[in-house]
Structure 1
Amino acid sequence: MPKPHIPLEEIRTSVESCRRCPLCEGRTHIVFGEGNPEARVMIVGEAPGKNEDLQGRPFVGAAGKYLDELLAMAELAREDVFIANVLKCRPPGNRDPRPEEIEACTPYLREQTRTISPDFIVTLGNFSTKFILKTDVGITRLHGKLAQAGKFQVFPVYHPAAALYDRSKRTALEEDFATLGRLLAEEA
């Protein structure tokens, strides 16, 4: 039986009321879900930036091209994964959201993990890693280490955008995606 999948438009409609929440007054607060609803891998990033908002797609521009290269290292393509960008209030300065802001966003991501039900969740960067693993430990200590969150295997890695500016993160990220490819092959 095929897994149920909530189309992006339906998710966007259900999130509209969230835009009127006082926590996100004047902030970007949008969820993206795009890709294969049968995917073994769900990639969870942060809330989309301005280009994503304008184009209505996650991971466009330089970070998107780099993500495509990383997926190829794991012998994957965008058609093989589901990208679920986390809702995140993004005030000026992009500071970490308050606990009550994260809590307000949780149901939307929880719904996506239930409908996609992947074998692995790959978290990109600090925010999504802390969000999924419910931890205060940062990505610098957690990247490349398989963890468990409920029934899901979680694989935290650096965000592709950060790796564009930091060579050490780029090397680590490429090694982590190669490891992801091996993990997927072992579980096939």
Structure 2
Amino acid sequence: MLPEAAVKEAKKRMEGHRCEGFLNGPNPVDPVVMMIGEAPGETEITGGGPYDGRAGRQFLSYLEALPFPLEGIYVTRTIKSRPYRWGKTPSGAPRKYNRTPNQKEIMAHAPLLDWEIRSASPKILCPMGRTPYWRLFGRSPRMPDTAGKYFMSPIRQMNATAEEYIWSREHYMIFPLYHPAASLYNRSLEPLIRQHFYALAGLCARFT
């Protein structure tokens, strides 16, 4: 579970933002890989897990390539609450839709992700999509240019004494991935994403 004081501070800093719910569940100790997504969606906030819903089931099918059970995979997000925007259904009824978290929301939750990475000490960090990649490195490359290629690098962490990011002293093994939901909107990506997960499985085998 996340530190209570850090959770309280993050919720305070999120006041006034269009976000709802908060995920604070158990995750494995000493995982080989940490998957970092963007933010929880409606399914997770209403009581589902990361493998529920269409995107979750797609994610689960990719994780089957990895050489250890699901219980050994750390799944987290850049923020723990669901960012939403108001829209309308086809019938005209008001409805909340998922949206990308903004930079202030990501920074509000930054100490929580920092704590998770420090305490879990994963062997491989997998930012899934451009938002978590930006969180770790301060830039958003085209996913075709970075997904499926591993490298060693420091990452951005929240400066405890100022509202800014600083680079970590530690270097981490980074293996960027497309967000699993990408293949739901572009079916041509599915073989490539599966190929990346098989490559990740080979990398994980070094630590198992």
Equivalences, count = 179
CA-to-aligned-CA distance 1:35-85 (integer Å, 9 cap, x gap): 312211111111101110011533421222222221111223311211112
Q: Residues of 2 paired with 1:22 and 1:102: CA distance?
A: 10
Residue 97 of structure 1 aligns with an amino acid whose one-letter code is N
What TM-score comes out, normalization by structure 2 length? 0.74
CA-to-aligned-CA distance 1:76-104 (integer Å, 9 cap, x gap): 33112111122167242724613x33322
- SS at 1:160 equivalent: coil
Q: Residues of 2 paired with 1:113 and 1:165: CA distance?
A: 30
Equivalent in 107, 111, 130 of residue 115 of structure 2: 111
Moved over 4 A (4+): 31-34
Please say if 1:138 is aligned against 2:138. no
Larger Rg: 2
Q: 1:121 to 1:51 in 2, by over 3 A?
A: same
Residue 190 of structure 2 aligns with an amino acid whose one-letter code is R
Q: 1:73 to 1:144 in 2, by over 3 A?
A: same
Equivalent in 68, 71, 75 of residue 63 of structure 2: 71
- SS at 1:156 equivalent: coil
Q: 1:101 to 1:89 in 2, by over 3 A?
A: farther
The residue number in structure 2 matching 1:120 is 124
Equivalent in 15, 36, 42 of residue 7 of structure 2: 15
CA-to-aligned-CA distance 1:100-138 (integer Å, 9 cap, x gap): 333222111000000100110111111111212332323
Matches within 5 A, 1:35-184: 35-55=27-47, 57-87=49-79, 90-92=83-85, 94-95=99-100, 97-98=102-103, 100-150=104-154, 151-184=171-204
Structure (1 or 2) with the greater helix fraction: 1
Report deviation, 1:23. Answer: 6.3
Unpaired runs of 5+ residues, structure 2, are: 86-97, 155-170
What TM-score comes out, normalization by structure 1 length? 0.81
Report deviation, 1:22. Answer: 5.7
Residue 129 of structure 2 aligns with an amino acid whose one-letter code is G
